[in-house]
């Protein structure tokens, strides 16, 4: 498309939240008003809890994807878009919550890696052939702890929340910022595709207001 019409704004990089819009700002934006993103630099996330282990918040098959990329892969760039639906316009909403709740700060620890490895060992073990330790990317996660202080080395850009745009447009993008962590981009897809739920609710609510 026309690069001059690109509305993507960097909202997350290397464990830091860069945009923190209020709900009022998002609401005004969804009504067609021009609102600039509220730029911040927040590196403190939610307190840890047993249901907030980023190492485990993925589809089980993605745990093994690090073994399947072509040799020499250093960058994985992914994008999210609405391919179609009941309405021609999409009201984008919800990414900011997931970034704040699960991804901001030093969220990867040796304890969480150990917890995840124990779970995946049970999950992937076979009664006859046992467990293949290479399936879980322990070295990759330990690299994030040792080299990035547990912060996720990814960059996310999105249209400002509350933006209304036609489907078949990019809503947000994600890419790794550390060549050694190319596998991380799509590992996080499972968590972030949940943005479709609040986006769907907002899109439908906006259409219902027209009736």
User: What are 36-87's pLDDT values in tens digits?
Assistant: 888 776 655 555 555 689 999 999 999 999 999 999 999 999 999 998 888 8
Residue 76 near residue 176, CB atoms below 8 Å: yes
Note the maximum CA span of the chain: 62
pTM reported for the whole predicted model: 0.85
Supply φ then ψ for residue 112, to 5 degrees.
-70, -35
User: What are 186-210's pLDDT values in tens digits?
Assistant: 999 999 999 999 999 999 999 998 8
**Of residues 92, 73, 107, the one with CA closest to residue 175:** 73
């Amino acid at each position: 498309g026309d690069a001059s019409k690109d509305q993507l704004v960097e909202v997350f990089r290397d464990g830091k939240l860069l945009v923190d819009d209020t709900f009022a700002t998002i609401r005004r934006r969804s009504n067609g008003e021009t609102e600039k993103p509220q730029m911040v630099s927040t590196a403190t996330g939610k307190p840890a809890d047993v249901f907030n282990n980023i190492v485990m918040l993925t589809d089980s098959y993605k745990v093994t994807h690090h073994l399947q990329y072509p040799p020499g892969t250093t960058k994985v760039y992914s994008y999210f878009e609405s391919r179609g639906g009941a309405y021609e316009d999409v009201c984008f909403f919800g990414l900011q919550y997931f970034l704040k709740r699960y991804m901001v700060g030093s969220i990867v620890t040796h304890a969480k890696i150990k917890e995840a490895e124990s779970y995946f060992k049970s999950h992937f073990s076979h009664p006859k052939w046992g467990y293949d330790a290479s399936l879980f990317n322990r070295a990759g996660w330990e690299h994030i702890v040792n080299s990035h202080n547990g912060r996720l080395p990814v960059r996310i850009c999105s249209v400002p929340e509350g933006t209304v745009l036609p489907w078949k447009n990019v809503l947000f993008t994600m890419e790794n910022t550390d060549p050694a962590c190319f596998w991380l981009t799509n590992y996080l897809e499972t968590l972030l595709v949940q943005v479709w739920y609040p986006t769907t609710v907002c899109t439908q609510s906006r259409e219902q207001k027209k009736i």
